[in-house]
Structure 1
């Protein structure tokens, strides 16, 4: 660490000053009352959440090493124009490779729609991407956003790092002994298993793809209903990514720097970071190219370019014949993992998936991992993902769930929760770490419905001509005996029990313009299944009229309305004399 500390000192006072300025500016705007140390960074007591505030005991990166370079002193604002002139240090650091920048902005847009309360700024993703991988090693990605060579952290074997033994059979990091952080946002495999998202709609979640990694990082930072515009939630989210106070301060510095202005640079031309928190100065892996073998010059051997080695001397006559080389013992092969033996997935008896909006699907999705001979494979990770225009999620509010197969080779997904969007959508099951045929399931969300509708009161609904009904009509809707909330309903004054057409006379409602209307659409039951209709009025026509209320699902109730003149007191009856038994004389 002494050597590492020395390198940080040799960076000069300018770098230290910009760190202090950046963190101080962010503290002033988002963290009033926070204390700063002599380097302008938040103190440990301010940066570390109190016990119980962190999301969990782990992190997205497994607390792997990160780049410690700090932003330059000169501000990136205003952004430089595209041209051929020299670019200053601040301008170079403010440049973000085009594909990488696009991935950050697309992730912000997706989270704005999916989790609007999170308030995720793309500059936060850029700050984390800078600290984790130097923006995918300066934007060394292909047209689809996949890194040209893998970006791997050191193996987490407990030797100076956390001890995290292999969790993915080497599927993501190529290491079957210990886990390593993977990709431009440096996810460890066990976190990627549940946090991985498909950000470029290619049907797979690849931690080495910047679109997938950026969207996954956004979802990771937005979990637990954190609001990143709130100082405390922002700090908790960053610390959950890598639980280090220095990491927090470095990310906050770059966040403030990028908020002042950035610009787009061509892929592969971004500034490369230097120092890392583990005291090393890693060099970017060169992009693999196809080697070109030049033709040998006369007098040189083909396998020694430049002919630096002389040709071998001829053997003297009578020398011993060459010996037959001994057969080499083949290197021991690594036994296949359970994942390696999977040939395909099968539907494990999932029934029809239908649920009413807001309800939980009664059926659970299940998939069975099998070999090419149809034998069940246990201990294989199956990823279930929700696709389509739907807000349905698995229990916990996530659209992705990873489940380990049991001894029967079957993995059962968490219960699906229907949202408010109706219609069909898909759920897909794939094997984590293998490109083998998966299984697709079709699910349907129907609108909320009621099968029973009753009046809550028993008073007769009577009104005089031209008057107002004293009692409003209130109904209660149920479905299967349970409260039917948020159910759509329509109320219509009909002509007769056999004629559902709208009546053009008799009782009526009023619209916002105080006009008579006899049909009300867009009604909805409340959380208790109650539906209270607006005030009813009567015109001058007397008689008995019918109000019919119908709901989604087919529940119907017809209510009788009476319009009659007010009752008047009838005259008292007079007594007539009793007839005599016989006429008078």
Structure 2
């Protein structure tokens, strides 16, 4: 059961009584009915009845009034049969109308998901966005977008100066359309700036709302079509939504024909390789009509006349040619001959300069810590905000921008006019390359940085570890109790007979049965303050792999002991040095004071 949105509680009961039962009609059935009428002719201006004219249901759903706008669109209709991409190459049609550029297709599907998550009752199909994108811009001119979904070149409609089109004076200081006098429709879904100011959306989560970005524009178009509590599974409301974009029955029929065509099957093609329209743009012939609107039916609530995505359409020819590129082309919205160019927007870029170091160096495999930054100023020398700056890596290198793992990345100037490049990963290939910054749509404004990737310093070879501890001097270690051993113990660390320097050594005195020697009676070393200690730690062998221990004292108690020498290297047996402490010799008794009797006295 569809979910109801709050304030129109009466719609709940209407759902099950009278004409409102038609809201359960599927979108596919609606489009199929429209397509059936279209198949009688494949040219613009069909004589078939407009969808909705012969159907039951509330005709008040259809728009009653039309606002000013250029109302132009590509009138080309889809083929009667969808091309089969699986056919052998020789059988493929010359033009693959069912192919939609990968990034553009992804944008439509993500917009459908986002709208469904926030407004599940609208039933917005992504194929409807694809149909509108087809007739408005030829799927962003065949998918001419960068990796972030932003059009490589601007898609602009005619100047809305009242000459053949509506007159809409500038509402955005030329930020989006480059014209500070009159508005123009902008981007792959053709929003005029005043409409974008109300309905702009962030479809790719980069924190910006850019009508030139297909993700942002597709989401904004989806929310616009669903405005006024529309349910696009109902035929009348589907018609109403399409007509809110462009108030023309021919436009409605054209969009519905592409809608049904895409529902029958599409496939992904590479960006930039999508089919371009074969028909030039046509302007709707619309009668004069009152300005009043019925929010939620004719147009989303709160929009002024002309504040609709179809308020200005590009006048480009297939392949991106603007009107006037060929003899005979006319631009109904262009300037009169000799007319001065409009005053440039305060944020129109005039200069690009580096504001970070010109050179940056990093070790292979690391990330550049020096961030590349440039500043954009306008003709008055003031900062230019919200200007797109593209950073491009030139040269043989494995370096990539962390965002999208690509050799180019586009960012936007902040409130100080500064555009900061995404983090740059060096890669493993050493060498120098150039990072070029360029203002999008103003290729003459560039700045360059030199980046160098250095080979990492070779790591020192690890010192060999010993496999044996020995005592070069085999002299027995003996001492008299209370004295000192005459010889000092020297330890030799080797590996396969070769000396090993810097081998850590620990020397510990133990009794004959292996227990730690304790007290002043047992042999001992002296610490730096002359106190007796029975263990030495933190010593290591010298350059020749040898270590001579300090003087060893015998202690007061005669007996046999051992000096146990170990290292923390695994699998090296301890070195055991035998120690023997002997008793002191007794001193002779002192001579008596009385004289010894002579033999004669006896």
Shorter-chain TM-score range: 0.3 to 0.5
- TM-score, with structure 1 as normaliser: 0.42
- TM-score, with structure 2 as normaliser: 0.41
Q: Compare CA radii of gyration and give the structure with the larger one.
A: 2
